[in-house]
Structure 1
Amino acid sequence: MPRKRTKSYPGSITKRAATWRVRLCVGGTYHSFTVPGTKVEAQNFATVKHAELSRDHGRAEAGLPAPIRFSALIEDFKTYELPGLSAGAVQSYRSSLGAFKVFFVDKLGDPFVRDIQRGVVKTFIQWRRSIRFGGLTAGTDALAAGVSAHTVARDRRVLHRLFNYAVDKDFLEANPCARVTAPKADKRDTPILSSGELEALLKAAEANPMLSLYILLLAETGVRADSEALQLRWEDVDLATGFLHVKSAPGRRTKSGKSRFIPLTSRLRAALQEHAATFRMAVYDTGRSPFVFHHVITTRSAIAGQQIRSIRRSFENAAATAKVPAGFRRHDLRHRRVTTWLAEGKNVVHVKEALGHADLATTMAYTHMVPEHLRALVEEQLAPLFIAK
């Protein structure tokens, strides 16, 4: 008696004109699919799809969430994770999320998160190196111009955190970024303004009192340009005791998540007093502004009294007028503050506390910008040569 042939695929496959009808039963539920191509291709589809449905059924039986698509993961992350970050981090993350949307949603068709493997992440890294976007929001046009290795490395870090979030929410079993590396980037040579260059920058900004104080504040305190400086309220400025209170609170979280006090220099204290005399009691249509940096006139894009949320363009215009070194950024004034403090021999623990660094190692990393202490290596060797006989 001839032996009955055993099927090599699950379910049933029926010929339907130029296609195949595939029926699968998982957990008592029937699923039907129409598959083009050959019967072998339909059989392969049935095998893969049955395994996928069985996995999903097993997750449901275990009380785990249903599979979600990549676009849904982004929205979930933006809703529940971004609000806990500082303003600067949120801006940076939104830039990366925009790139993810173009690649994973627009180009790949919005796959299920569970189906994204390490090879797909590697392809994204390669693709990202050659694509620049016209803006920070998802859906902006991509330009065929490469981005820096720093940008690619940042996107890889954000993607790793996004998939870690998916693992924590049980949308994914393992992080596909785990063994994918981004290209290494040379460290940027940060331009440190001389005293003369800083004065030239302040001179270029003197027609704009908000910008002028903003530049002096960054240079004298080392606060972060967006998440700290532009968040300052009048209640944070204590002119009587000479301290600035950088608060970490919902809606204005600092990078470290901790509040701190920074002493005011006599120059900054005087500038803040003059600024307060002009703007603290000013009354606009919306009332008095609680923000140190606020709009003073109403335009199509701003309302007088409202917080200034971005001052980058005005800063760049002033920097161009002052002819400061090429590539100079607002954050470089923070670098200038820490390096000048260290060069002056200030207590490194106090510097760490004023800057809001999470650990001392971060502060000590700035010592490479202050080479004066290295003179001791030469002076100690040369000293014996000048001993009188």
Structure 2
Amino acid sequence: MIEPRRTKGGRTYYLVRVKSGREQVATKAFDTKREAETWEREQKHMLETGRPLAPKRTFTFQKLVTEFLRSRELGNPHTFDTDKNNLATLSPTLLRRPLASIHAADMRAHLLAQIRSGKKPSTVARAKTTLSAMFTYADEQGLLHQPHPIRTMVKIPELSVVAQRAVGPKDIPTAVQMTRTLKAIRERRALIADVFEFMSLTGVRWGELRAIRVDWLAEVPLPQLLVNRSHSDRYAEKDPKSWRGTRQIPLSPRALAIMKQHSAGKAPDDYLFTNESGGQLSVGVVRKFPLGFRRHALRHYAASTWLRLGTPVNEVAEYLGDDPRTVLAVYAHVLGEEQRLAHLRRIADAEAAENDGGHLGVTWRENAPHG
């Protein structure tokens, strides 16, 4: 109900009373009748549906992006930067459209375009995660009145968990590659070679390596690296990714030797690996020494080495700070190598047994059971 009223000075204003049954649930005064009617309509809609009215068509997709990023500014700086970079790929045409016109097909087309442009599925999958978080935020704010565009989107096969995470043989350097690469880098700068070698022996992430202190070494009951912090460039130190508490990584003799070498003469709380000035290493320095493969492949090298040596999946997952299911998905081809090698051995033995010069396949078909 809207009541026109006057102030003592003679100015007209409009008092809105909103009731639920006989109970008054909201009241507000406005200078114009139009503002009063709009607010009354919104309140009644909220009472009837439990949700605000859909935003006007002037509320664009760009406005949602701006509000969402503003809401994330006080959170994790790394997450904010990731969200900002992911949303920067949205086209101007899409951003100018009203939010109410954005549907699942639009988001699917956007993500597919990113894949076609050459971006890795893992990169596009992270962009999808950002978009999903943004539309969830819009829903919580009462701005989303259409079905959630990401949750209702037809799945993109390339973004499945296995496709997103799995690595293939070409993603992991061989022992020969690793030896040759480290030798070449050591000739230029021994410190950087030690850093890369230590990462390949322990599987630590770059941020974790930067944060390692001298006293992270435990030698009783066995030599172990105690990982409990991570410090990515430009961001505050924090807990390691996907891990709670201290992660214990057994150290090989070579990894232990590297750690002791770089601990010499340092205090327990000093960084293990430091630059020439004694300060913390930066990613800008190591980028001057290209490996010929991604730096993250050093982590893959460590994990695949452990698995090939027969270390149980759950142990490898613990050393990496990952879920065993993730290890199974990422290193599926490594876990299947023994079966494939056995298959090749059987073929080689069968070929060696061929004495009549016939094709192996013909012999198998002739000896195959019928029925």
Give 1:237 shift.
2.3
Query: 1:238, CA displacement in angstroms?
Result: 2.6
Which SS does the other structure have where 2:206 is aligned? coil
> Measured at CA, do residues 292 and 172 of structure 1 come closer, stay the same or move farther in structure 2, by a change above 3 Å?
farther
Query: Structure 1 residue 223 and structure 2 residue 223: aligned?
Result: no
Tell me what 2:87 maps to: 100
Q: Given the alignment, which residue of 99, 108, 126 partners 1:116?
A: 99
Aligned partner of 1:338 in structure 2 is: 303
Unaligned runs of 5+ in 2: 3-13, 19-26, 53-58, 231-235, 354-371
Q: Could you tell me the percent identity over the aligned residues? A: 21
Partner residue in 1 for 2:368? none
Per-residue CA deviations over 1:91-124 (Å, capped at 9, x if unaligned) read: 6x62332342574999736x9xxx7347256545
Q: In the alignment, which of 349, 358, 364 is matched to residue 328 of structure 2?
A: 364
Q: How far apart are the structure 2 equivalents of 1:127 and 1:26?
A: 45
TM-score normalised over the length of structure 1: 0.61
Q: Which residue of 1 aligns with 2:135?
A: 163
- Residues 166 and 333 (structure 1), Cα distance of their counterparts in 2 relative to 1, 3 Å cut: same
**Residue in 1 aligned with 2:252?**
265
What SS does the aligned partner of 1:319 have? coil
Distance 2:105 2:40 in 1: 28
- Residue 329 of structure 1 corresponds to which residue in structure 2? 294
2: distance between equivalents of 1:120 and 1:267? 55
Say if 1:266 and 1:149 are closer, same or farther in 2 by CA, change over 3 A.
closer
Are the structure 2 counterparts of residues 204 and 75 from structure 1 closer, same or farther at C-alpha, using a change threshold of 3 Å?
A: farther
User: In structure 2, what is the Cα distance between the partners aligned to 1:372 and 1:263?
Assistant: 24
- Counterpart Cα distance in 2 of 1:251 and 1:169: 32
Among residues 204, 218, 226, which one is paired with 1:245 in the alignment?
226
| Cross-structure match for 2:68 | 73
Aligned pair partner of 2:150 in 177, 186, 204? 177
Q: CA–CA distance in 1 between the matches of 2:210 and 2:104?
A: 36
Answer with 115-124 or 339-348: which moved more.
115-124
**Aligned partner (choices 242, 245, 261) of residue 274 of structure 1:** 261
Equivalence for 1:254: 240
Rounded to whole Å, the distance in 2 between the matches of 1:149 and 1:51 is 45
Residue pair 2:201, 2:255 contacting (<8 A) in 1 also: yes
- Asked if the contact 2:104–2:153 (Cα under 8 Å) also holds between the matched residues in 1, the reply is yes
Letter in 2 for 1:116: L
Aligned residues: 305
Counterpart-to-counterpart distance in 1, 2:310 and 2:91: 50
Partner Cα distance (1:166, 1:236) in 2: 44
Indicate the SS of the match to 2:225: strand
When residues 381 and 106 of structure 1 are mapped into structure 2, their CA distance, relative to the original with a 3 A threshold, is: closer
Unaligned residue ranges in structure 1 (runs of 5+): 1-10, 12-22, 35-45, 84-89, 133-144, 282-287, 298-303
Give TM-score scaled by structure 2 length: 0.63
